[in-house]
Amino acid sequence: MNFELLLQLIVNGVIVGLLYGVIGMCFVLVYKSTKIVNFAQGEFLLIGAWVCWALLIYLELPFLVSFILSLMFMAAFGILLQMVVLRPMIGEPIISVIMITIGLSIFFQSLMKWIFGVSPQSFPQIFDQQSINILGLNIEMAYLMSTIIALVIMAAFYVFFTYSKHGLAMRATAFDQQVAQSLGISVKNVFAMSWAIAATVSATAGIVLGMVNGVSDSLSVMGIKVFPAVILGGLDSIIGAIVGGVVIGVLENVAEFFDSQYLHIGNMYDIAPFYVLLIILWFKPYGLFGTKDIERI
Amino acid sequence: MSSLTMRPCGDFRTSYKQDNTIFETKTIRFVALAAIAVLCFAPLFLDGYFLTLCIQISYLGIAALGLNILVGYTGQISLGHGAFFGFGAFASAWLNNSFNIPVFLSIPLAGFMTMGIGMMFGVPAARIKGLYLAIATLASQFIIEDFFARADWFSGGSSGASAEPLTLFGFAFDTDQSFYYVALFALITMFVWACNLMRSRDGRAFVAIRDHYLSAEIMGIKLNKYRLLSFGISSFYAGIAGALYAHYLGYVSAEGFTIFLSIQFLAMIIIGGMGSIKGTLMGVIFMVFLPEVLSSGVGVMKMTDWGNIPLVVDGLAYIKEMAIGLVIIGFLIFEPEGLAHRWAQIKNYWKFYPFSY
């Protein structure tokens, strides 16, 4: 057994898993506060990454400027999307809500393909050093940065939801919409804000992933990969999303390792999380940290 | 009431028999039978292009009807219908190629095999609902898709599988004209079956589960049994449709049965109207004609000197996909009950004309 490789893969898994966790957090945030299941999460990553790429390449702005500009664009985009498309969906059956986000996902995915083409584009070099050696493990600079960004985002989420006025308002709305409204919280603003946060944070993840693997259509797959993570953690638990993300990230790398070494089935990296997903749904549908939906007659 | 030729405005049914009829008035029955008669002669005056579209509408219609039984009537969500459709296609080709089972037997057998697979994936699904179910079926979509790419013995792997044309008593249905009748026959059979299913005890149980599953359970409807049954029936429809597709094209490859196909099936029933058999067909016709209309629109634009924009002409494939997304969003916002509802409104308008409100 090749322990070196396994360790490397596990470290990679944790790094990617943290990003899954960040995307999962956005998903959970939107689900918790607006009860909308966002199948278009992956497109947020895609759009964010393409916008940042276009600003870098066509307008030749410095990286930090285009990064911040694209985040601002995504915040506006998220709010606009919520206002135009998702507000009429409040109170509709769940199938309509799911389908409308799927519709959005198809629309933006092909729009991005139309505008930017199908071939992957790479970001210009941002770091001088390609990779860095920590404790004998080779870690790419971009990965290191993505880990730091992921941890910073998580810390920011924690601070925002524990101490800030808006964060508390959002938690109150998620807990009970009507009571929150009667206490003077603008539920409309909370909805808009949660979409804006989800769009910006996902776009950050998209830009980071784009720097590692290049920007292409495959970024939107992340929006689907996030489902195993959030289901494992429980759909309405932010901690659960992080834990689920890391577990799924490690799991797919370990599955890939065992597959390439022993089993030779192929494609385990992509498909293993979905087997796990089905098994979790079978035995523990509300995940590790999710609130159980108890029905009494 | 079956003796009436026009329907009175209002619901005046006094017996279960009246409540259960397929055709509410003589006129509707006459129109339906006449439409079938006209469709029987369609190959005589339709050219090949429209005939292909008709066949496409038939097999997609069968699959979409299956999905409507699951989503529209039972209130379950499935994002894996495209994979089941594909499974039916491969299963029929496999049965025919490996065991020399004649095609007219392998098509229904493929339907039953798909039903088995659908129920297998439906077992966890019977316990969960709503969003969790959507995600579970999404997982099954990817797992089955992966199976197609991998199982060389079953699907031919990446190279795909070939499928013999349907033969019956030595006559091969290998042209569009002849296969049209097979597709039409299958379509009518499956639609009549669905109509009858919905009038039966099981169909009413489905609707009860959709409307309020707790009340349904209190009334003695076994939720798990009927959810599973609904999954099975819907997969059976998908399997039959997939098998027809395989033997029509003569070749099945794994690339066609992605999540996008599943979404298209869902789009069909949303556009047509969830929980409406007539609406299913409307939705399928809409979704089949949408890309065709777009391509011919762009084709016309290409002729004119103002419309020959390379961006639009080259991006046609993307425009088609975007149109599907837009249509889903538009219908959900502006007409969530679909074309069937709109059709009923138009009919009502003329019925009460000029005093409609």
Q: What is the pLDDT of residues B232-245, one digit of tens each?
A: 999 999 999 999 99
Residue B129, pLDDT above cutoff 80 = no
Among the partner-chain residues B139, B214, B325, the one whose CB lies closest to the CB of A106 is B325
Contact at CB, B132 and A281, closer than 8 angstroms: yes
The answer, for B209 touching chain A at a CB cutoff of 8 Å, is: no
Is the model's pLDDT at B1 over the cut of 50? Answer: no
Residues 6+ apart with CB under 8 A from B177: B43, B51
Q: Tokens standing for A259? A: 């597959």
> Which of B135, B146, B150 lies at the smallest CB-CB distance from A277?
B135
Is residue B250 over pLDDT 70?
A: yes
Classified as helix, coil or strand, B173 is: strand
Which one of A98, A103, A267 has the shortest CB-CB distance to B329? A103
Contact B214 A297 (CB under 8 A): yes
Q: Does the interface predicted TM-score (ipTM) exceed 0.90?
A: no
Tell me whether A231 touches chain B (CB under 8 Å).
yes
Query: How many CA atoms lie less than 13 Å away from A286 in the CB half-sphere?
Result: 8
Section B176-183 average pLDDT: 85
Listed residue (B62, B77, B89) closest to B193, CA to CA? B62
Distance from CA of B233 to the nearest CA of A (A): 20
Least confident piece of the model among A45-49, A151-155, B129-133: B129-133
**DSSP code at position A220:** G
What pLDDT score was predicted for residue B289?
A: 92
Q: What is the pLDDT of residue B261?
A: 92
- Confidence class for position B11, pLDDT limits 50, 70, 90: low
Please report which residue ranges of chain B form alpha helices under DSSP H: 16-20, 26-40, 42-45, 48-68, 81-99, 103-127, 130-150, 152-155, 176-199, 201-211, 213-218, 223-249, 259-272, 277-303, 310-314, 316-334, 338-351
> What is the arithmetic mean of pLDDT over B184-203?
90
Q: What is the DSSP string of B188-240?
A: HHHHHHHHHHHHSHHHHHHHHHHH-HHHHHHTT--HHHHHHHHHHHHHHHHHH
B332 touches chain A (CB under 8 A): yes
Task: Return d(Cα A210, Cα A297) in angstroms, integer.
Answer: 50
Q: Which residues from A are below 8 Å from B140, CB to CB?
A: 278
Q: How many other β-carbons are positioned within 10 Å of the β-carbon of residue B214? A: 12
Report residue B112's pLDDT band, with 50, 70 and 90 as the boundaries.
very high
User: Average pLDDT of A144-160?
Assistant: 86
Smallest Cβ–Cβ distance between A282 and the set B124, B319, B332 belongs to B124
- Give A82-140 pLDDT, tens digit per residue: 888 888 887 788 888 888 999 999 999 999 988 888 888 887 776 666 677 766 666 77
For an interface test with B, the pick among A95, A112, A227 (most B C-beta atoms closer than 10 Å) comes out as: A95
- φ/ψ region of B25 (left if φ > 0, alpha if ψ in -120 to 50, else beta) reads beta
B67 versus B129: the higher-pLDDT residue is B67
Residue with the larger pLDDT of the pair A148 and A269: A148
Query: Residue B332 and residue A224: Cβ atoms within 8 Å?
Result: no
CB within 8 Å: A227 and B139: yes
Question: Does B139 touch chain A if contact means CB atoms closer than 8 Å?
Answer: yes
For residue A231, pLDDT over 50 is answered with yes
Is residue B274 a contact partner of residue B339, using CB atoms and an 8 Å limit? no
Give the pLDDT score at B2.
45
Whether the predicted pLDDT of B4 surpasses 60: no
Most B CBs within 10 Å, among A87, A217, A278, A279, to test the B interface:
A278
Q: Give percent above pLDDT 90 in chain B.
A: 28
**Residue A294 touches partner B, C-beta closer than 8 Å:** no
Contact status of B186 with chain A (Cβ, < 8 Å)? no
Distance from CA of B12 to the nearest CA of A (A): 31
pLDDT in tens, A232-277: 888 878 888 889 999 998 988 888 888 777 766 667 777 888 888 8
Using the predicted structure, report yes or no on whether residue B249 has a pLDDT greater than 60. yes
Nearest residue to B135 via CA among A184, A41, A192: A41
For residues A26 and A291, which has the higher predicted lDDT (pLDDT)?
A26
A227 in contact with B, Cβ within 8 Å = yes
Distance CA B20, CA A129 (A): 75
A95 contacts chain B (CB < 8 A): yes
Residue of A nearest to B323 (CA): A107
Find the CB nearest B139 among A105, A266, A278: A278
Identify whether the C-beta of residue B236 lies closer than 8 Å to the C-beta of residue B115: yes
pLDDT, tens digit, 9 for 90 and up, residues A164-208: 888 888 888 888 888 888 988 888 888 898 999 999 999 988 888
pLDDT given for residue B8 in this prediction:
62
How many angstroms separate the CA atoms of A238 and A157, rounded? 9
**Residue position matching structure tokens 């991005």:** A112
Interchain CB contact of A204 with B (< 8 Å): no
Strand positions, DSSP E, chain A: 131-134, 137-140
- Candidates A41, A86, A107: best to mutate against B (most CBs of B within 10 A) is A107
Cβ atoms of B106 and B243 within 8 Å: the answer is yes
Q: What is the mean pLDDT of residues B90-97?
A: 89
List beta partners, residue A121.
Answer: A215
Contact B325 A104 (CB under 8 A): yes
Tokens of B329: 């969003």
Q: Over 90: is that where the pLDDT of B356 sits?
A: no
Give me the residue from A107, A278, A297 closest to B124, CB to CB: A278
Q: Are A20 and A246 in contact (CB under 8 A)?
A: yes
Say what the pLDDT of residue A161 is.
85
| Nearest chain A CA: its distance from B348 CA (Å) | 25
Nearest CB neighbour to B325, from listed A103, A265, A281? A103
Q: pTM of the prediction? A: 0.90
